Amino acid sequence: MREGVITKGVGGFYYVAENGTEHVCRAAGVLRTRKIKPAVGDRVLFEDEDHGDMYITEIKARENYIRRPPAANVDQIILVFAVKEPAADYLLLDKLLIDGAMNGIPTVLCVTKCDLAQENDLDFITANYSAAVSDIVFTSSRELSGLEELRVLMQGKLSLLRGVSGAGKTSLLNALCPHMERETGELSKKLKRGKNTTRHSELMLAGTDTFILDTPGFSDFEPEQLDENDLWKYYPEFYEYSVCRYMNCVHINEPECGIKEAVESGAVSRLRYGNYVKLYGVLKKNRRWQ
């Protein structure tokens, strides 16, 4: 029995990475009857059968599963956020952070295109976001800066790159792994057709146990339904200040609210809190923020 991680699924075939090598496998019949569809990121057991065909026989229990793009066992989200081009949109950034928190996945904020930044831009982001995310790194794919720090954060993990289209995700991936060449020949042979051009999520193998999932940029970002009264729970930096007069304080209009006091004293970012109030209002109206 061998063990690996699914990096890609195309037309009923799955790439499974084992110690840095990818094998093309099918799902064994037993899996199909169990109605679990293997996903990118799944840790699986697989077997060599006769004629050199390989079969996935078991999918190990998932630590998490995200739906868009479908992926299992995501260790962290790398939120790629350009300082400029496109213009910084902090409200959208907050929505993405909330979405990650709702999935229970830690987020690293990767501020990119730093070659375009003024000194103040980076300080501003640090001041407002360092408490909101597990790490912040500043990179430039053009100047190849900050990449080593990012590599260290990605080592041994499955990271999902997220961010609006044009933020610089693919450039970052190329800068991180300039020599990465995908092996598509093996699959093409089995399928008896040329290079597959359909869009699919695909895990890049950036080392034997380091995986990066690039995602297409989105324009239709819509997180799961969310009760406005739960919104503040997805702001990690609010927690330590949520010592309020009312047990069920949602930190909007209540008196003696620890979070509002923390905003006044500068302990909690006014930008983050202001956007929180905005999103709360939107959610209250339609339970969605679009």
Per CB under 5 A, residues contacting Zn ion are 244, 249, 251, 257, 259
Determine which residue in the list 88, 103, 131, 170 makes contact with Mg ion, applying CB under 5 A: 170
Contact mark string toward Mg ion, 130..169, x via CB under 5 A: ---------------------------------------x
Q: How far is the CB of 16 from ligand GDP (least distance, A)?
A: 26
Answer yes or no whether residue 171 interacts with Mg ion by CB under 5 A. no
- Residue 288: CB atoms within 10 A of its CB come to 12
Nearest to 54 by CA among 45, 63, 67, 62: 45
| Whether the Cβ atoms of residue 200 and residue 216 lie closer than 8 Å to each other | no
Residue 228 contacts residue 244 (beta carbons within 8 Å): no
In the complex, least distance from residue 200 CB atom to Mg ion, rounded to whole angstroms: 14
* Residue 109 interacting entry, from ligand GDP, Zn ion, Mg ion, none, C-beta within 5 to 8 Å by type: none
Query: Which residues, at least 6 apart from 213, have a Cβ–Cβ distance to it below 8 Å?
Result: 40, 41, 69, 71, 74, 158, 159, 160, 161, 201, 202, 203, 204
Does residue 166 sit in helix, strand or coil?
Answer: coil
Q: Closest by alpha carbon to 112, among 168, 188, 176?
A: 168
249, interface contact from ligand GDP, Zn ion, Mg ion, none, CB < 5-8 Å by kind: Zn ion
Query: How far is residue 131's CA from residue 260's CA, in Å, rounded to a whole number?
Result: 16
Which residues form the interface with ligand GDP (CB under 6 A)?
112-113, 115-116, 140-142, 163, 165-171, 217
Task: Please report where in the chains the tokens 């993990």 appear, as a residue.
Answer: 157
Residue 103 or 170: the one with the smaller Cβ distance to Mg ion is 170
Residue with Cβ nearer Mg ion (217 or 274): 217
- Is the CB of 41 or the CB of 168 nearer to Mg ion? 168
Q: Shortest Cβ contact with Mg ion: which residue?
A: 170
The nearest distance, CB 60 to ligand GDP, in angstroms, is 31
Catalog residues that contact Mg ion under the rule CB under 5 A: 169-170
